[in-house]
Structure 1
């Protein structure tokens, strides 16, 4: 049994706000951690945990949206929003994988550096640099894709919800009158 309505509102309308906040926040955290290993060390386990909560929130919002889709008038805007919503999970999974990889490698490299701190380093080995650059590039690409996808999904959802639900002119039905 799943919760479908809370306080008279469809759960989807409430849960999507977690996704709207968590995806960009996770994307930003992953990019910052990939670029600055010291920031990744400060974030610690919170980085992959944030990305995991983000990943978990996506199917919750999607499932609630599927329930809502069955309970509203179907039109092209609703169908488009549902189609776009189905595409967010791979982006969220990518953020989680990258967050975990950045956390793991930063944690591992910090312990290796601590164990070998007495030797003089001539610089970062080329292979480590290649891995770090690849992590930064992948993080930026996945983060940008996730944020753009969330924007597109949210925009299509707003259009589906509001396309005929308001007037561009003020309602003269007495709202705000002091009679």
Structure 2
């Protein structure tokens, strides 16, 4: 993807990354530390995190296209090098969001089995009893480890997105505006 409506695609796509990736990281923390939020947010955040992950290489590819069409500066080189790190924070956000969602799904199955009670011929009980869990959905130790890792990953993600965005703004705008307002004249 090179241009959208006459504008470089990178400058449009980057807005999606700047919003969706930090939002997904924050929702990851919320859903990993708060059980009520986990039930409501785990699945939508898994979708959001995967979408952000897919958008990162599309956005960096569009940025590389744009890089070849603007004057080369040290600020631009710094931005493009930092931009390549976005994938390395988007991957853990997506993986952890999928883990939190999968554990929530497994936990719901275990909970459904326990809620049914003594009704032995119920199809839900038979399904829940046969379904094997893989990510220890009832383990508070695993939940704690995931929550701690999620907080660390989210912090790294927010910091990385900030650094990339700041370097892009510096590359785009440094020395290209006046500290004084332009005189208002006739158009």
Checking the alignment, whether the CA contact within 8 Å between 2:32 and 2:143 is kept in structure 1 is: yes
1:122 is aligned to none
Checking the alignment, whether the CA contact within 8 Å between 1:40 and 1:47 is kept in structure 2 is: no
Which residue, 108, 128, 146 being the options, matches 1:135? 146
Checking the alignment, whether the CA contact within 8 Å between 1:41 and 1:106 is kept in structure 2 is: yes
Distance in 2, Cα, partners of 1:111 & 1:47:
20
Q: Which moved further from structure 2: 107-116 or 14-23?
A: 107-116
Checking the alignment, whether the CA contact within 8 Å between 1:88 and 1:150 is kept in structure 2 is: yes
- TM-score (normalizing by structure 2): 0.84
Indicate yes or no: 2:185 matched with 1:177: yes
2:169 is aligned to 158
How far off is 1:36 after superposition? 1.4
- TM-score (normalizing by structure 1): 0.88
Indicate yes or no: 2:73 matched with 1:75: yes
Unaligned runs of 5+ in 2: 119-135
Indicate yes or no: 2:95 matched with 1:97: yes
- Three-state SS of the structure 2 residue aligned to 1:165 is coil
2:107 is aligned to 109
Deviations 1:54-109 (A, max 9, x none): 10111111000001111111010000000000001011010000000001001101
Deviations 1:156-178 (A, max 9, x none): 00000001211112234xxx225
Distance in 1, Cα, partners of 2:83 & 2:95:
20
Aligned residue pairs total 168
Residues 39, 158 of structure 1: alpha-carbon distance in 2 compared, 3 angstrom cutoff? same
State the Cα RMSD in Å.
Answer: 1.8
How far off is 1:110 after superposition? 1.7
